[in-house]
Structure 1
Amino acid sequence: MKNDRLLEQTFPKYLDSNLDPEIGKQLCSILPNFGLEKEARSLQLYLEYGSDAVGKIEEGIWSDRRYFVGPYPPVNSRPGDLWFDVIELTLMVLIPHQSDPEMLEPNNNVLPAWISTHPVYVWQFRAFLNLVKIGSKIIQIDSPSDYLLPHRFDSQKATDFVTNLYHDEAIAYATWFGKGMGGQFELQGARDFLFPEAFSQVLPAKMRLWDAMESPVSEFVRIA
């Protein structure tokens, strides 16, 4: 039975426990109820074999690629490899360096980078909101009154891609997980390197990038 609350309660516990294996096993049984079978299998692989596990996804758009699991990006990786981040529970793909001969259309602005194979889910972002510790600093532009407030996402389902974010919220989420915000150069590299079907998962057609040029007044422009 699908229960959004069960997933959104268990994932923060898993993170807060420093990836406790017993809570990880609970997640493995919960994730398939949300259509997240790949995530469940990947986490199970890590719980059984640790970061030494290397395999392949057998079916779907991301099949027949080398596949790593663990809390850190693999060292001996090459363009096209997959890495399942067992902290964020996100599958990522390595796009190549500008000089890599396998790149379909070389782009001098592209650097090697791991990028997520899909946008952030609501259940992932809610876990961040539940666990993040908010501080304060002096800035030139005041934060909006609903900055990082969970109620803004009450109408979204757990497995929706999170939308309607302030730019700083997106940066805070990525930084909290030890990552960064992808930009136009990384996306262009992904577009050139990946098949169209795969790239359409990285950046679905109805999603768009936050662009500071859209607002001459405030940095807190939402993405949709």
Structure 2
Amino acid sequence: MACPAFRVDAVLVQAVIAGALSFAHLHDLAAAAGQDGWKAWAYPISVDLLLVASWRRLRTDGPTRLAWCWFVIALVASLGANVATAGLLDLNAVPAWLRILVAAWPALAFMGGTLLAHTAARAEPEAPADTDPTPELPAVEVDREHALEPGADTEEPAALPAPEPEPVPAPPAVAAPPVPAALVDHARKVADDHEQRTGTPIDPDTLRARLGVPAQLADAIAARLA
């Protein structure tokens, strides 16, 4: 049996090189700002993890202000270190404001990671169905002079027929997103593995977390597996 030929992915190689350079620049900047030893190596890990966590939140739950905010913060921290260590900043005389930013980064990254992990995505409010307002009944004019005279014949006005309520149109059904057959097969394997390990069928939330797909696509896949 012939072994498959090894093919080098140029995009993956480029990503590894860019990640290594960014990692080294963050380490150099943290070390220049007074964070020596293992602490200087922890800073690039913290920045990259926050960048990955915010990007994963954007892919799974859709664009939100929270995910975009922390993605931009992590991206600015990474790009800022690359620019600062490119000769525009004297690493032997780091300004005080940069030392403050580097020292405050662990608390900022901890808060961002906690919010990304424990803040649920807000559901978009559904648009209310358009309903026609109830038509106003015409006012009945009453002759006050004859009504106040004693012994005057008072005739009760004829009751107006109640307006028939108009039917409320049903909201249009939302079409389910198309699900590739390969994704359904992979989801079926994940569901079978979950049922073998736990003894219970997999629920849509667990399926969405295992596949890393949006909630609407996970519901469509669960319907195909049912």
TM-score, normalised to structure 1, is 0.19
Greater strand fraction, Structure 1 or Structure 2 = 1
Greater helix fraction, Structure 1 or Structure 2 = 2
Structure with the greater alpha carbon radius of gyration? 2
